[in-house]
Amino acid sequence: MSGSTNDYKGMKDLSKIFVKHLEIDETAAGQRLDNFLMKTLKGVPKSHIYRIVRSGEVRINGGRAQPSDHLKAGDIVRIPPLRLPTRTETRHPTVPRGTSALPVLFEDEWLLAVNKPAGLAVHGGSGVSFGAVEQLRAQRPELRFLELVHRLDRETSGVLLLAKKRSALTGLHAAWREGTVDKRYDVLVRGRWLDAKRKVQVPLTRFLTAEGERRVRADSDGQTATTVFYRRQVWPELEPPLSLLEAELHTGRTHQIRVHLTHLGYPLAGDDKYGVFSWNRALVKKGLRRMFLHAHKLGFSHPASGEWLEIEASLPENLQAFLDQLSKAGEG
């Protein structure tokens, strides 16, 4: 076998080469094909997974598939020959030196919630060799099962939830699809926000830039996206005025909060994709060296007991210090 589709960097201790035809059961039903493949083909770069799907090597029920296709129970997914890392390396990678343990916000026999810092990807891939889930697996080798329930952008800090049992994972994925999870974020924006509460329903669509980078924009033909913003504090005397908001996500589209805010004319502080770049540079000089987006609360029904559970992560010290600085400047 030869060809670029099976040659990629970063793979060690390569094991056997094989072809698989996997039947989708109820636990995997409803997942996007790309997400299913990333969980099934642990250690295979994300870019490689997208390449084999788009080339037609991955098929659903014998037909070509798209990464965004949702799987149904009984579907047969063909996975082409791939070189995969050994199970030992996949489940228990070596933690890079100097890596600090992630603060645990909640843990029981079903779930693990940690406070993810900004700058740490939630999983490896797309140029990132080591993410939060790999770090946790390495630091907690006694856990036979540990999977991400949801994702946060690399530069977003806050509550990150993982499942320690497959039944917990499938139950929480169902809750995410049904919209019964309460997701709240702290955001700092440019401009004077007037409404105490504002519901934003602006469809979003993903696209590739000329450089091949993924971006999102407001588009009437895009996917439904709903965010509710609550005004928490405003500094009208500053130039430009700034506003601290709480964002409640009703849907979970890529970069949803960031694109909704830019579309409304209130760009997110420190946003290097959709923000005001000259303003971001000025903010760095004033002490804000990251994007001001923090997942501060996650509320959901426990997948085993059904009890409502709320997990919170306080604002990181660097963001709180910047807010304190704004308040002092406003008083002056």
Identity at 77, one-letter amino acid code: V
Residue 95 lies in a domain: no
pTM above 0.85, yes or no: no
Query: In this model, does residue 329 exceed pLDDT 90?
Result: no
Residue 113 lies in a domain: yes
Task: Report pLDDT for 45.
Answer: 80
Query: In this model, does residue 130 exceed pLDDT 80?
Result: no
Query: In this model, does residue 16 exceed pLDDT 80?
Result: no
Q: Is 75 annotated as catalytic?
A: no
pLDDT band at 208 (very low <50, low <70, confident <90, very high): confident
CA distance 146 to 137: 7
Return the SS3 of 133: helix
pLDDT band at 127 (very low <50, low <70, confident <90, very high): low
Catalytic one among 153, 221, 271, 272? Answer: 153
From 141, 174, 207, the end of a domain falls on: 174
Query: 29: domain CATH number?
Result: 3.10.290.10
Residues 200 and 58 in one domain: no
Residues 208 and 319 in one domain: yes
Task: Report pLDDT for 210.
Answer: 82
Beta strands in 41-102 (DSSP E): 59-60, 63-64, 76-85
Task: Report pLDDT for 25.
Answer: 83
- CA distances for 174 relative to 35, 95, 140, 141, 181, angstroms: 15, 32, 26, 27, 10
Residue 47 lies in a domain: yes
Average pLDDT, integer, range 114-132: 82
Number of domains forming the structure of the chain: 3
Task: Report pLDDT for 10.
Answer: 37
Residue 252 lies in a domain: yes
CA distance 38 to 223: 23
Mean residue pLDDT of the chain comes to 87
pLDDT band at 78 (very low <50, low <70, confident <90, very high): very high
Lowest mean pLDDT segment, chosen from 81-85, 177-181, 250-254, 307-311: 81-85
Task: Report pLDDT for 93.
Answer: 52
From 31, 63, 86, the end of a domain falls on: 86
Six-digit token pair at 41? Answer: 């083909």
Burial 178-188 (b: 16+ CB within 10 A, else e): eeebebbbbbb
Residue 110 lies in a domain: yes
Task: Report pLDDT for 98.
Answer: 55
Q: Which residue has the higher pLDDT, 26 or 34?
A: 34
Residues 305 and 186 in one domain: yes
Average pLDDT, integer, range 73-89: 73
Q: Can you give the residue range of the structural domain that contains 156?
A: 101-174
